[in-house]
Amino acid sequence: MIFMTEFSTTEKTILVQYGIKKYENEETVFEKLKTVMSEKDIQRNIDTLIATQIVRRIGPEVLQNNESHTELPDLPDNLKSIIENL
């Protein structure tokens, strides 16, 4: 398993978006993504995505990509296996 690989800011944001798409439960997203990035990076990206209305909170622990507002970015090849293995 890859651990703490250096990802660009954009790659981290994409990983968080796809993690949310796959799991929706915020706690699960943290559990899965903390194998590849720091919890601080995960929280920062979630906060930014909510603030920019790319992600919305639809319950106390539930996050959802706001796909009616913005489309998910294309998943770069180097991130595909990471998302598949989450």
Domains of the chain (ranges; CATH) run 9-67 (1.10.10)
Number of H-type helices and E-type strands within the chain: 4, 2
- Checking if the pLDDT of 1 tops 60, the result is no
What pTM value is reported for the model?
A: 0.90
* Averaged pLDDT of the chain: 92
- Checking if the pLDDT of 72 tops 90, the result is yes
Give me the pLDDT at residue 2, please.
Answer: 46
Hey, which bits of 1-86 come out as E strands? 55-57, 63-65
Q: What is the pLDDT of residues 19-40, one digit of tens each?
A: 999 999 999 999 999 999 999 9
Instruction: State the Cα–Cα distance between residues 47 and 54, nearest whole angstrom.
Output: 10
pLDDT band at 6 (very low <50, low <70, confident <90, very high): confident
